[in-house]
Amino acid sequence: MAIIKPFKAIRPAKDKVAFVASRSYEEYSKKELKAELSYNPFSFLHIINPGFKFDKHVSGQERFTLVHNRYMEFLEENVLMKDVADSFYLYKIEKDDFSCYGLFCATSVSDYKNNTIKKHEDTIHRRELIFSNYLETVKFNAEPVLMTYTDNDTISQILNAETHKIPEYHFTTKDKITHSLWCISEKDIVTRLQEQFNAIDTLYIADGHHRSASSVLFAETSQKKNRKHTGKEPYNFFMSYLIPESQIQIFEFNRMVKDLNGLTKEELLIKLDACFRIENKGDILYKPTKKHHFSMYLDGEFYSLYLRRQVWHFTNALSKLDTQILYKTILEPILGIKDLRNDRRIHYGYGKHNVIKMKDEIDEGNFAIGFSLVPITVSEIKAIADAGLVMPPKSTYIEPKLRSGLAIYEL
């Protein structure tokens, strides 16, 4: 049973929401970031990049304190305001080839700990500690954890009915994405949604593993400090965006490696022949079309690599995953990439047109070889999570990517 809770969000003033909402900080180039901070005083980026005000790079505890200060300024200037009623927030995203809607809500730390909320990626404890300390200073969640659940007809009917009402926000951003948000505060609708989610056995983290793990760590630390702990305090929950699994999109991460680990092209192909049936596709752009089938770009030519089933045995959900197969048959034993997260010889790319970008990078000499895969499916994510396994790093690039600053959960 999944516990979800409405909350009083801190939200942008209606006339400023289009200026406040920002993409994730990491998605901006340096030039974009500087332009946005220079010419948009309402951008949420001013809160999470507070050193700009002082023309100074800040980090660590100094940055955390300044983030809190900028946040308080936005509240004092009524750029951000607090809702008076506990609500769920229905958020819809629409662009040319994609549309989805989901629910901002508070999800339970206890559900994470009892495995009602399941993960498919490992987290790094050092990063958990850093973000937990960040939460302790700033006292808010601004970027929700993206979670998915099995499609539920009743939930869909309730949310569809809400979309026929006048939204609280409706605006289009410069990237031609339209954003709509509805506040759901009617007690009977809130209760119906809670009842429906209470009947759902599992929520699956799609994106935000470190945010959720850090929120749990922060909750445990806060509980130890609070002698009057009841379990109802805000720190016992963290903000999530719940979306039915049919409405998420998953793209692949391609892999590019700096060198051939001392091998010649011919030596590499001979080693690959042990595990793959290899076909030279020439210089025509080539992408794989099915599971256990890879595209390789090397020395100006594309190759298809078909896994030889007799040399690879499926033993569990992880062994069936293409990112794991590529790692265990090529990246680790042949190219010498043992640490997929930290080895500087390997880089990752994502997006619909990334095969072209990968080819360009290799042609320019920045990398020696590249591999393209088909996207991982929701079913594979769930199978990995249900088995208590974890995927190799950079196995999935998941949309939607949510705007920061639309709804903030105070801790």
Architecture of the domain spanning 253-374: 2-Layer Sandwich (3.30)
| Measured distance CA(103)–CA(152) in Å, rounded | 13
The DSSP bridge partners found for residue 145 are 240
**Confidence band, pLDDT 50/70/90 cuts, at residue 123:** confident
Average pLDDT over residues 17-43: 92
Give pLDDT, residue 351: 66
The domain locations on the chain are 4-250+399-410, 253-374
Q: Once rounded to an integer, what is the mean pLDDT over residues 62-70?
A: 96
What are the strands, taking DSSP E only, across 198-236? 203-207
What residues contact residue 118 under an 8 Å CB cut-off, 6+ apart?
202, 203, 204, 205, 385, 386
Report the distance separating Cα 7 and Cα 234, nearest Å. 9
pLDDT tens digits, 127-145: 999 999 999 999 999 999 9
Taking the C-alpha atoms of residue 50 and residue 290, their distance in angstroms, rounded to an integer, is 46
Pairwise CA distance, residues 59 & 56, whole Å: 10
> Does the structure show a pLDDT above 80 at 362?
yes
Q: How confident is the model at residue 219 (pLDDT cuts 50, 70, 90)?
A: very high
Question: Residue 323: its pLDDT value, please?
Answer: 96
| Cα–Cα distance, 184 to 361 (Å, whole number) | 47
One-letter amino acid for residue 57 of the chain: H
Name the pLDDT band for 44 (thresholds 50, 70, 90).
very high
Q: Give yes or no for residue 249 having a pLDDT over 80.
A: yes
- The 8 Å CB, 24+ separation contacts for 265-271 are 265/298, 265/299, 268/298, 268/334, 268/369, 271/334
- Give burial (CB, 10 Å; 0-12/13-18/19+) of 239: buried
What is the mean pLDDT of the segment spanning 85-90? 98
